[in-house]
A and B are shown apart, each in its own frame.
Chain A
């Protein structure tokens, strides 16, 4: 079994805001992150598999690239994350995005192959999600 990780990039605007809280409470809770701003995000998608005896490939990389492009990158790149329908109800923290992207991607890759979704928000922050069981 090997784990293959592909690194993708997108840029998006966002702000941290819990709709259940007042504007003042959000500002106090999230500080500067409550102000509309953006990031150059990196998204790392890790899938596990056994390399095929003949082809040496553990996954169909084209399928993974296609799923990530269609289900995530095309929806979020150069968008405001709070306005993306697929992210409705998600507080767009790195953790929240990693979990949301997992849920978008899991049905589009071979069953059980998705091992980890990592959202790199800045060079200083990375967030990993490995599914409900972990």
Chain B
């Protein structure tokens, strides 16, 4: 089994969420000076690409059951963030919901469920012109 060829599989998810950039310990003026229009509550149609990596199971021919991946990411990430206010989520208490932090939060939600050794990369697209990749604290 350890000699089985390895591969990576990626599945795409979408969710829409609201957010704004705001540092609680700053005054409104400081926030507006630093973040500008990003302080105004707005939203995005996010796209999430989750990549899992591992040996190709000789029996199933799969690295990971993508139906299972769909269920786990759906329950853990999409159900939580779709049509939600990211700033109101406990995971973003004291953490500005930038695309960078969202990618890290999604990794932290998924790594325990998928196994940090199986989860290879989280890619969060804020819109078609901007995405962030996170490959874990060691990546």
Count contacts between A and B, CB distance < 8 Å: 53
Q: Which of A29-37, A52-60, A123-131 contacts B (4 or more CB under 8 A)?
A: A52-60
A57 to B100, CA, bound (A): 7
Residues of chain B contacted by A57 (CB below 8 angstroms):
96, 98, 100
Q: State in angstroms the CA–CA spacing of A2 and B131 once bound together.
A: 10
Chain A, interface size: which category? 10 to 19
B130 A3 Cβ-Cβ under 8 A: no
Q: Which residues of A contact B139 (CB under 8 A)?
A: 1
A114 to chain B, nearest CB (A): 15
A5 to B98 Cα, complex, angstroms: 14
Known: A54-B23, A55-B23, A56-B95. A2 touches B100 (CB 8 A): yes
- CB neighbours of B103 from chain A (8 A): 2
What is the 8 Å Cβ interface bit string for chain A, positions 1-15, against chain B (1 contact, 0 not)? Answer: 111111110000000
Q: A1-B139, A2-B134 are in contact. Are A56 and B129 (CB under 8 A)?
A: no
Is A5 in contact with B130, judged by CB distance below 8 angstroms? yes
Docked-complex contact B23 and A4, CB < 8 angstroms: no
Contact, CB under 8 Å: A55 / B34: yes
Residues of A within 8 A of B34 (CB): 55
Chain B 88-121 interface 0/1 with A at a Cβ cutoff of 8 Å (1 = within):
0000000111111101100000000000000000
Tell me the smallest distance from the CB of A119 to a CB of chain B, in Å. 16
Q: For the complex, is B128 an interface residue (Cβ under 8 Å from A)?
A: yes
Q: Is A51 in the interface zone, CB < 8 Å from B?
A: yes
Q: Collect the chain A residues with CB atoms within 8 Å of residue B100's CB.
A: 2, 4, 51, 56-58
Residues on B with C-beta less than 8 A from A4 are 99-100, 130-133
CB neighbours of B104 from chain A (8 A) = 2, 51
CB distance from A115 to the nearest CB of B (A): 10
B132:A7 contact, CB within 8 angstroms: no
Bits for B11-51, please: 1 = Cβ < 8 Å to A, else 0.
00000000001010000000000110000000000000000
A5-B133, A56-B95, A57-B100 known; 13 new pairs, CB 8 Å cut-off, are A2-B134, A4-B131, A5-B131, A7-B128, A51-B100, A51-B101, A55-B23, A55-B34, A56-B21, A56-B96, A56-B101, A58-B98, A58-B132
